[in-house]
Structures are given as structure tokens and as C-alpha cells.
Structure 1
């Protein structure tokens, strides 16, 4: 963060200083909400949660060197006390971003946000210093914390924005007003909370509504292949750039294919030229993500060759997202267990099928959360797709939703052995340990709440007779 005195921060957030002997002391370190991350010159934000109250760690963080605590009550050590800690954090982020003059890129979508954000960051940082959302910290707390890591040297600030209802993205864009806004897709993620895809589109489109007009440099990057996203062009005064495989897209892909390892390769076309891309990531769904990143980079002044080189060298920066590891015994484990929705689940299955040509493939899948009335049909469809893609065996893990996955596969199958339903992660591990053989490919995926990453981790520990090699 740019250095600010405690007096300046108190004024920005509308707070009162308590137990601060010298309000000219400056915050020169990071703004943190985890007491373990507090250090010299930092500002600790004390949130009162259901299980842990950050105020209880106030003395500890000051002892570690924190300049002060942003708190909702006096804590006996230097503190700036406010009525609403979350609102104060947002106000501080808005102030800092306004002073920096960085180009702020924001993105949203039902699927692929984090992977695309990582691609954008890896491309843009070849051009200039770039700060971006770590992992998927894309809410009203994670977003301002990320924005506050920017400094005077930061040229590009790339922020992922999530939403669980109408108005959420409008709130986030109020904290960190974007110049470039990217909408990836409108899918089924959180459809149970929103009530339908039209409502999801309404919420995601708040991003393009927040952009400045074209004459002030505003740019809306929209998916030409998604009708609900493409229709958002009417909701913005910004310049509209379309990406996708459509002939009408400004940034598009031609000659898309997958390598023998399941990595996408294509010819990238931009308004400034064309160049070939072969990605290190796995699955054809990353083509759309790459085109989105390319459209952002083109708008910010990078050439087709520069973009193609960066995309070809980019890797996965966030854990448990198509994380491919080959065990010493030849079994390949694909850990995509961070989260799941119908679109990402189907994309992962297609990637598994591409990676597993000539090999046995296993899909270890759990429930997709927050699908509301669509839950049964969507789980059934995923189970059926696994069989249609000739996945050797579907292992459905967990309760009712997993049973629907298995039933879909059973009804689609022809010999009854294409799928099995197990009660929990340990049962899945036990099954796989007894039946896996060298050369098999195992995909592990479910919503975050299921915790299926434990299956992937157990399989890697099982196969670690020597050193495990990540690809």
C-alpha cells in the first residue's frame, strides 16, 4: 500500500484514533486481516466473525510490529475505531486506488474467473508491474485487501469480482472503479440463489454499467459466444470488444485442437495481427479464457505476438484448478477440486477425455452446490456426459447429489459397471488405491464444501514411492 499516516487513514475511513501517541506514524506495510501476517508497519483489520474475533489479537499484532488496528471498539493498543470495519476497509481501498492512477481491470462470470484472472495477470505483467487477486478472494473483503497491495509502481490492477445477488458487483465497482471490464459467461453457478440465468446476467452486467464511456477510455470485453453476455453491450457506454470463436469476434481463435496431452493449441487473431498459441494448461475450455485475456491485453496495447508468447508460457497460479501431477508409478492425478458448477464440471470431463486417450480414465466427482431446483437435472446430466465421453469409471462421492450423478451415468450406460456411488472421500480413496494401475488418469472435482482435494492428496501420497513430479 502507499504509505499513509494513521491520521490520514482515520480521516479517510471516518474513524477515531485511540491509544495512538503519535498519529503521524505511517502505515508502510500491508493491510492484513490474518494476525499471522501482521508485521512491521502493517495495518491489522479486526473482523468479528462467528468463531474468531480479530479484536482478541490486537495486542499480538502490535507486538509483531503493526502500526495500528482498524477496529470497531477500543482494544487497548493503537487503533482507529470505526462503526463498520468492512465499510472502512472499502473506503480505504477506494481512496488508495483513486490516488494511484493505475489501470484497473475487473472481471466476472459464472465459470473460469480465477483461471482467466491468472492468465490476464501473467500476460500484462510482461508489459508492466501488475497486481492481481490471489486465488479467488473476490468478495467485499478480499477485493479491497487486494487493491491495497498496489503501490506507486503498479501499472495494472486486475481484480476478480464475484456475486451472490443483485447489487454485489455494483458495490465492488464502487470500491474499485474499473476502466476495463470483462464478462466471461452466464452459467448455472449460484443459480439457486439468483433464481435464474436472466437474474445472473442482470448481476454480472453491473460490471459493464460501471465502466467509463469510450471517450474516457472505458472498454467492455464481452463473450461473443454467450448471448446473455453479448447482450450486455447495450448496457454500457464503454467501447465494446468481443472475444470468442464467432466470426464476428474482434479477438478470436481458429484451428483449435488439443495436443496428445490435452493442451489447447490455436491461431490467435486480434485486430493488430495473428499468432499461434499452444498452452500449458489442460482442456479446451481454456481457449475461451485465453481469448478473454488476449482481448484485455490487446486493448491495453500489447501485440498479437507478445500476447501469444505470454499465453503459451502461462501456467496455473491458483491451487486445485486442473492441477496435473504424474505419480512415479505413471498414474496421473488431476486435482480440480477447488469448486464446481455444471459448466466447469462438463469442461473438466472433456479435458479428462482428451488427456486419457488410450488410457483408463476415472472421474471422482461430488456435488455441485447452490443449484436450487436445477440440482437433480444438472447432476444427472453430468453423470450422463461422463458415460458419453467414454470415461472408464465415474466414482460419485457423497450423499443425495452424488447419487444423482451415479444414476445419470447408470441410466446412460450399457453394462452397469460405468459408475459407482461411495459414501465419502475415504471410501473413494480406498476404492482407487485397490484398482488404479500405471497409466490411469484420475480427475477429482466437486464444490469446495465437499473437500474432495483430500482424495487427490491421498492418491499422491499413495504413489509417492519416489519424488512426485508436477507437470
Structure 2
């Protein structure tokens, strides 16, 4: 965080300042802001956030022992540290992030990109950050820091020297993207796609469209909307951009796209395409598996071009990306048994894409194995959407479908009903049972996809399989 006095911090968040020791209202604080006491070091700011499992106020002492200079709290804690008391610490860090970003932006150098979409946010964020870091100091979220806590904590990492801030905005209810994007009013807003992810929370696909369009409404006056020309729901957001007088840049595979891809090919070694922008066409060889990641690369490239980066530089930097993110199409195991651990997140669209990638990279003498768990936050659509995945897996001729967890059972039942033979799909109540089965079942030449939402925990099953067959 940039250096601010305790008085300035207190004023920004509307808090009550309780000084300790030699501190005065003019004492400057410039440490990292974090909600995890384990990450706190000398001079840092600890945010005592109440949670479902525990309360951050219980860890103020730990943060102090590690050198915290300041604690943001909802009530005074009996610990030897300066504290600012606020009604809600989550609201407080948002207010502080707004103040810090505004001060840095006033210096005239900082440019901000916001990214949203039902799928692909984290991958696109990582790709864009890779492109921009070669241009200047770039701040981007760690992992999927895209919610009411993670997004402001990312924003608070900017310094006076930061040239680019890349923000990822997730949401499972209306108004969340508007609030988060409103903290920084991005210069460039990227909308990737609208799918069934979080449809249960939003109340349907059209409601999801309205929620994602909040980013376009939050773009700074005179800014740029980067939109997916191949997604009709996203393309419809151009109306909002036009009404606001924003520039519009399209990405996709059609001729309308300002940055487009052709000649797409997916192999076991990566994903390949030709990328065209204007009169220039260049080959792109991504090490990241999956045709859907080409669309993410196009989005990142389009945003980078809007910020003045050349196509040549963008493509060259994209080709250095080794991994989209841990647990996202992460290749593990060995040439003998290849494990693709893609179990950090899952929606119907991302599972479709992952299954098709599995089919594309599996050779004629190799066997496809799909280890599938629940997709979360689908609400009333959960049974139907899981059943559709079961049907797709069978129709892709995946000979071994391993379904894990009771919430994914509709997937198993649909695969059994659609299957050509009795043992095509198997069901296990938990990951330990599935691991024991797979250790005996997997053989040389198997290509194994592990896919589920984070809450299903199959990413750890993927890790265990990767280690077992390394």
C-alpha cells in the first residue's frame, strides 16, 4: 500500500482511531493489507474479518507478534497495537482501496483493466498480466482474488510506480460487480462470456447477463469495452457501451472481431492458432491446453492492444505462459499416465470445454478417463446441467467415467442411462474411494481429466493422482 498517515486511513474508512505506543495521527503506514495473520509481517495492516468458521479478532495478537503496525477491527481488541474501529471491516477495505487507487491514479500513470465473465477470468487475468509486466509494474490478483475481500486487497497493492492494475471481478448476485468495479472505474473492461456459472444465485441466464453487464456500465468515461463477438449475450452489451460513448473492441473467431483467431488446433503439447489484428497475422503457440484458452488469449491480447501494446509483443509474451493457474488444465503425472487437473472451478461451459479437450488430445492408442465431481451454484438447474454433462461424456465416447460425490450423482445416472455398456460409468461417494479405485484402474496410455468445482475438492484428488503416476 502507498504510505498514508493513520489519520488519513481513518478518514478514508470512516473509522475511530485508537493510538498505541509512540504512534500519532501523523504516523505513516505503508505495509501490505491482509486478512490472514499468517501473511502479516513488520509494518503491515491486519484486517480482523469475522468469518463463518472463526473470527479474525482472535488473531490480532498473532498479527501483532509478527509485526503488524495497524489492525482494522469491528471492536477494540486488548492487544498492544494501534487500531481503527469500523462497523464493517469488509466495507472498510473497499473504501481504503478506493482512496489508494484514486491517489495513485492522480499521478497520471496508472491504467486499470477489469475482467469478468462466467468462465476464464483467472486465466485471462494471468495472460494479460504476463503481457503487461514487460511494459511496467503490474499488479494483478493472486489466484482468484475476485470477491468483496480479494478484489480490494489486490487494489491495495498498488504503489506510486504501478503502471497497470488488472482486476478480476466475480459475483454470484446482482450489484457485486458494480460495487467492485465502481471502486476503480476501469479504463478497459473485458467481458469474456455469459454461461450457467452461478446461474442459481442470479436467478437464470438473463439475470446473469445483466449482472455481467455491470462492468460495462462501470468503465471510466472515454474508456474501452472489450467484448466477445462470438457470444450473443456479451455482444448485446455493446448497446450500453455505445450509449456511454465508450470505444468497443471485439475479440473472437468471426470477421467482425478486431482480434480474431483461425486455424485452431489442440494437441497434447498445447493449443495453436493464427491470431489476426488489422493487417497483421501471427502464429500463436500456447503451452496451455484447451481450445477455450485461445478465446482467453484473444481477450487478453485485445485489452493489451487497447493499452498500446503491439500484437507482436502480446503474442510473444503469451507464448511464455506455462500454466493458466494451479488446478486449471494443469498437466501432471507422466507420459505413461497423463493427469489433467482442472478441478479448481467448474460450470457447464467449462466442463464441456475440458471434456472436448480431453477428446482432442487423446491419441487412437490411448484411453480417455474422466473423473468428474459436482458443479456448484447452479440452484434449480443443478440436476439438469449435471445430467447433460453425463450425456456429453458418453457421446464423446469416453470409455471410463468416474463420478465422485452425491451432488454429482445425476451426472452418473445420465451416463449410465445413455451408455453403451454396463460399466462405462462408476460412482464413488468420496475422493478417497475414487483414488483407491483409480490406482488399480489406470494403465499405460491413459489420459485422465479431473474436473469439478472447488467445493467438491477433487483438485486434491488430482494432486494425489499426479504424484502417484509421476
**TM-score normalized by structure 2?**
0.94
C-alpha displacement at 1:262, in angstroms? 5.7
Q: How does 1:96-111 map to 2 (within 5 A)?
A: 96-101=100-105, 102-111=110-119
Cα separation, 1, equivalents of 2:421 and 2:61: 65
Task: Choose the corresponding residue for 1:255, options 247, 259, 263.
Answer: 263
CA contact (8 A) 2:37 2:59 kept: yes
What does the per-residue CA deviation read over 1:3-22, in whole Å, with 9 as the maximum and x for residues that have no partner? 11212111211112113342
Change (3 A) 1:457 1:30: same
2:139 is the counterpart of 1:131: yes
| CA drift at 1:326 | 2.7
Report the CA distance between 1:90 and its aligned residue.
Answer: 0.8
1:10 equivalent in structure 2: 10
Q: Distance between the aligned counterparts of 2:59 and 2:456, measured in 1?
A: 30
Unmatched runs of 5 consecutive residues or more in structure 2: none
Separation in structure 1 between the aligned mates of residue 359 and residue 89 of structure 2, nearest angstrom: 48
Aligned to 1:53: 55
* RMSD over aligned Cα atoms: 1.5
Distance in 2 between residues matched to 1:366 and 1:348, nearest whole Å: 13
Provide the rounded CA distance (Å) in 2 between the counterparts of 1:390 and 1:117: 33
Runs of 4+ with deviation above 3 angstroms: none
What are the residue-to-residue correspondences of 1:57-456 with 2, within 5 Å?
57-76=59-78, 77-101=81-105, 102-213=110-221, 216=222, 218-236=223-241, 237=244, 238-259=246-267, 261=268, 263-271=270-278, 273-316=280-323, 318-327=325-334, 330-358=336-364, 359-399=366-406, 401-456=407-462
CA drift of 1:336 comes to 0.7
Structure-1 separation of matches of 2:237 and 2:275: 24
Query: How far has the Cα of 1:147 moved from its partner?
Result: 0.5
Deviation at 1:272, TM superposition (A): 6.2
Distance 1:30 1:18 in 2: 20
| Aligned partner of residue 332 in structure 2, secondary structure | strand
Residues 273 and 303 in structure 1, CA contact (< 8 A), matched pair in contact too: no
- Any gaps of 5 or more consecutive residues in structure 1? none
* TM-aligned CA deviation for residue 247 of structure 1: 1.2
Please give the secondary structure, in 2, of the residue aligned with 1:134. coil
* Secondary structure, aligned partner of 2:319: helix
SS of the aligned residue for 1:47 comes to coil
Residues 401-426 of structure 1: per-residue CA shift (max 9 Å, x gap): 42221222223322233211222111
